[in-house]
Chain A
Amino acid sequence: MSAGYVTGGRDRRRLTRHLRLGDRAYRRVLQGFGVFVLVIFVAVGATLFIQAWPAFKHSGPGFVTGTTWDPSHAIYGAVPFIAGTLFTSAIGLALAIPIGIGAAIFLAEYAPRRISGALGMLVELLAAVPSVVYGLWGFLVLGPIFQNTIEPRLSWLPFAHGAPLPVGLLLAGVILAVMVLPTIVAVTRDLANAVPATSREAVFGLGGTRWQMVRTAVLPAIRTGVVGAVVLGLGRALGETMAVTFVIGNTNAVPNSLIAPAQTMASLIANEFTEATEPFHASALLGIAVLLLVIAVIVNALARLLVWSVSREVRETV
């Protein structure tokens, strides 16, 4: 860190005490840009809130507790979309976490180095595939497979009743899992590769097997970082619009089955905003955006704090 381009702490203060006029102006300009960026992101939240205010006032607390969304009668309740968002994200993470961590551990600990490097880079590149491409694939390829092959075989599961459709909650969750997988695999693999060789050798020296080494030396060391990556993935899944809008089925009701069509907050906005002509309709959709924004900010702040605490731990142990 000390070699990097920053002069921190006391040195910097001593150096900046006697600044020339030009230098002081330069500093002010940089600070001004910093403040400008803060203003932009505060403005995002403030603008949405101001636009959503009429709907909030119209619906009152019923906006977050109501289960009916009926623009033609100006009834706006967000519960179906909050439920749809939480369910799809939960399905996505429940699938992506075990598969992603398993895959990353295999790449980092078991696969030959060359294969691991090549597959790792492939996975990292896949993280850059646009979400609209995931959506297209989910809608045109995975949807029919779900309708014809997978969903008819799931009827023994609780909460999986209903006619098999090429859209629905489960399909949206699976697409989200596929989307966040590359991120989870890449981060977990990097963290595992960063575990010092000495702690691995300590377990081997005691006669431990490779799996015992992974369990006692690698997994505890990377736990917090993986949780941070998972929470970041959760943030991405909650706000994902395009991939979900393709396959969710656009039904404005609380889903009563795992395979029922539903609606998330983001897909609702994508579907209805350009056709919102009823009173308070556009404003109510902006209200949904405010709720989504609040959830996303909380989740991302949490992830950031987790990642910071990891880097502090690493700094303290080194």
Chain B
Amino acid sequence: MSVVAASQVDRRTLIRQSARKSHRRRQIAGVVAAALCGLGLCIALVPLISIVALTVSKGIAAWSVDFFTRLPTPAGIPGGGIVNALVGSLIIDGLAAVMALPVGFIVALFLAEHEGRLANTVRFVVDVAAGLPAITIGLFAYAIVVLPEGHFSALSASVALAVLMLPIAIRAGETAIRTVPQDLWEAGIALGIRRARVARSLVIVSALPGLVTASLLAISRAIGEAAPLLFTAIGSQVFATSLGQPMASLSLVVYFDGIQPYPDLQRTAWGTALTLLVIVMLLNVSSRLLARRMRRFTR
């Protein structure tokens, strides 16, 4: 009797001890894992914050009224600006958006309304195309616009950026159109309205905030791209407004001035980088706010 009790007590302490040991081991493993994950976050944040902080501080140092209103000057001569690149980016990206967004949203409507082999193929190809290297798209625009015309031009740059924006516009547009309640579509059909009219007057109108969000995202992606412009717009030191001429762009200024060994050109590069950063962030934040507002509205 007492022997059994003794062994039971032994077992109990044994179990308690091993449980305590296991608990301690698991606690230590948990603390180590959490520390490693936290370390990962710190390592990830250091370069990202450094990029933003340095771009802001060095960029603001380069900013002035002249910076936004003057043409670039050669290295060593102060007072140069980027007004031609600012206007150039606006023209190139604006024209690209005009070319890409309507087509993109019609295809988005097609993907949202239709199922079948064609729709699935288009969706897959568009998804893959969204990951194409931007420089290969630049070469494509070079081959189909610059080569036949015989000169570099803003138009060819717009073609390149339009091809680049198309997949983003299509997928973001499809997401936006799919948030429109199906009842609306069915109600239109039940009234005997033509499908094209239903799409135009009910679906597109209801999806409009989402489509604006999609447009902003596509434009913000395109405006920062420099690689497709290297062989198309090619950059310019003068104020070009004709689509048939080489044109300056913000992203090209960051690259061409940034790789120069002259401090004042590097200053211009930082200032232009900050300008780009501000534009891209404004586009992203406003598209985010719009999306949140829309979600509240549909709810």
Q: Which residues of A contact B (CB under 8 A)?
A: 2-9, 12, 15, 19-20, 22-23, 25-27, 29-31, 33-38, 40-41, 43-44, 47-48, 51, 98-103, 105-107, 109-111, 119, 122-123, 125-126, 128-137, 139-142, 178, 181-182, 185, 208-212, 214-215, 232, 235-236, 238-242, 245-246, 266, 269-270, 273-274, 285-286, 289, 292-293, 296-297, 299-301, 303-304
Contact = CB atoms under 8 A, between A and B. Distances in A.
B107 interface: yes
B15 interface: no
The 10 closest A-B pairs by CB, nearest first: A130-B224, A239-B133, A102-B40, A300-B131, A106-B37, A211-B30, A241-B227, A103-B41, A26-B196, A30-B110
B115 A239 contact: no
Contacts of B61: none
Given A23-B196, A293-B136, A133 B273 contact: yes
Interface in B209-233: 220-221, 223-227, 230-231
Contacts of A269: 135, 139
B125 A41 contact: yes
Interface string B42-63: 0111011011101100000000
A247 B139 CA distance: 22
Binding site secondary structure of chain B: helix
B124 interface: yes
A211 B33 contact: yes
A107 to B, nearest CB: 7
A5 B40 contact: no
A273 B230 contact: yes
B196 A133 contact: no
A292 B227 contact: no
B245 interface: no
Contacts of A132: 224, 226, 251, 254-255, 258, 273, 276
Contact of A133 (B29, B55, B130): B55
Nearest to B180: A5
A125 B107 contact: no
A44 B115 contact: no
Nearest to A36: B103
Given A99-B43, A211-B30, 20 more contacts: A5-B184, A5-B185, A6-B115, A8-B115, A37-B107, A99-B44, A101-B40, A102-B37, A106-B40, A125-B281, A126-B51, A128-B221, A133-B276, A185-B44, A236-B131, A245-B255, A270-B227, A293-B132, A296-B132, A304-B128
Interface of B: 26-27, 29-30, 33-34, 36-41, 43-45, 47-48, 50-52, 54-55, 103, 106-107, 109-115, 118-119, 121-122, 124-137, 139-140, 142-144, 163, 166, 170, 177-182, 184-186, 189, 194-196, 199, 203, 220-221, 223-227, 230-231, 234, 251, 254-255, 258-259, 266, 269-270, 273, 276-277, 280-281, 284-285
25 contacts: A4-B180, A5-B178, A5-B203, A23-B195, A34-B114, A47-B144, A102-B40, A103-B40, A110-B37, A123-B44, A125-B281, A128-B221, A128-B280, A130-B225, A130-B254, A133-B55, A135-B254, A136-B254, A137-B50, A137-B54, A141-B54, A209-B26, A242-B226, A270-B227, A300-B127
Given A128-B281, A137-B51, A181-B48, A106 B220 contact: no
Nearest to B115: A8
A100 B55 contact: no
Contacts of A128: 220-221, 224, 280-281, 284
Nearest to A301: B128
Given A102-B39, A133-B254, A141-B54, A232 B33 contact: no
A182 B189 CA distance: 44
A102 B280 contact: no
B34 A211 contact: yes
A111 B226 CA distance: 37
Most buried by B among A47, A135, A211: A211
A110 B39 CA distance: 12
Contact of A31 (B114, B196, B284): B114
Most buried by B among A30, A122, A208: A30
Nearest to B131: A300
Given A6-B182, A304-B128, A37 B122 contact: yes
Given A47-B144, A137-B51, A210-B34, A239 B121 contact: no
B177 A5 contact: yes
Contacts of A296: 131-133, 136
